[in-house]
Amino acid sequence: MSDHEAGRALPGPAWALFMRRLSDYLSRDFLGGPRIWKFSWVINFQKTGTFVFLGLLMAWYEQNSTAAWVYLAMHGTYGLVWLLKDMAFPDPGWQQRITIAGGINAFLFVLGPYWIFGWILIASDSPPDYPLPENLWFCLCISLCMFGSALMIAADAQKYFTLRVRRGLITDGVHRFIRHPNYLGEMMIYGSFALMVWHWLPLLVLIWVWGGLFAVNMVLKEASMSRYADWAEYRRRTWWLIPLVF
């Protein structure tokens, strides 16, 4: 980690800057008016409400399949894990107060669609046609979810507590080999949910979120980090997202 800054950051790509401005307006400033809630409150409502939502769906559809229970444990518990993380080391970016319409937009177009995953699985009369035996598939999905959760929490905790002591690049720990371990963890988590459902609609949701939000954030984060003198060396010896792939 370095405290030395080389100078001004490189400007981000025009497409990423446009997407950032658009998403910030729609989710934080849309229609203006009073800012009655923090962004984190909207996020935590969806995350922690997932366990209750899925449980109610199972009761409504009288669904008692093993897949439904496994999905409830994975997605529902992840929401509780997120709340614990937010209580222990909250992300400063989520503490901004947003407009009423902005919060509704964030829920309807980003957070809410994740609930579609569980609805597809629980409301179905027949189990998904997994490409592997059910026990192996469950093992794969649970493993991805658990490892992704640990990676995401480790990355966010390292960033939060390190930056409280000194500013600069974080180049050790879970950031030693990849530059965006928190996003990789999130992608593993929601990828495991989509695999459990095994339906085309969750794939579309992930393409929208990963392409329209995650990719934009990662590109602009790298543009911001370019102001540090040791950025070029760190970038040269690390992978963007997935080790040995890209």
pLDDT score recorded for residue 4: 44
pLDDT score recorded for residue 6: 53
**Cα–Cα distance, 68 to 13 (Å, whole number):** 42
DSSP 46-69: HHHHHHHHHHHHHHHTT---HHHH
Nearest Cα residue to 218 out of 178, 190, 191: 178
**Cα–Cα distance, 173 to 100 (Å, whole number):** 39
pLDDT score recorded for residue 27: 96
Domain ranges of the chain: 14-237
Mean pLDDT value across the chain: 94
pLDDT, tens digit, for every residue of 191-246? 999 999 999 999 999 999 999 999 999 999 999 999 999 999 999 999 999 988 99
pLDDT score recorded for residue 7: 62
pLDDT over threshold 80, residue 172: yes
pLDDT, tens digit, for every residue of 66-114? 999 999 999 999 999 999 999 999 999 999 999 999 999 999 999 999 9
Angle at Cα 219 formed by Cα 214 and Cα 220, nearest 5°? Answer: 100
Angle between helices 200-209 and 114-123 in degrees, nearest 10:
170
For the residues 141-160, what does the mean pLDDT come to?
A: 97
pLDDT score recorded for residue 50: 98
Q: Give the burial string for 64-82 (b: 16+ CB within 10 Å, else e).
A: eeebbebbbebbbebbebb
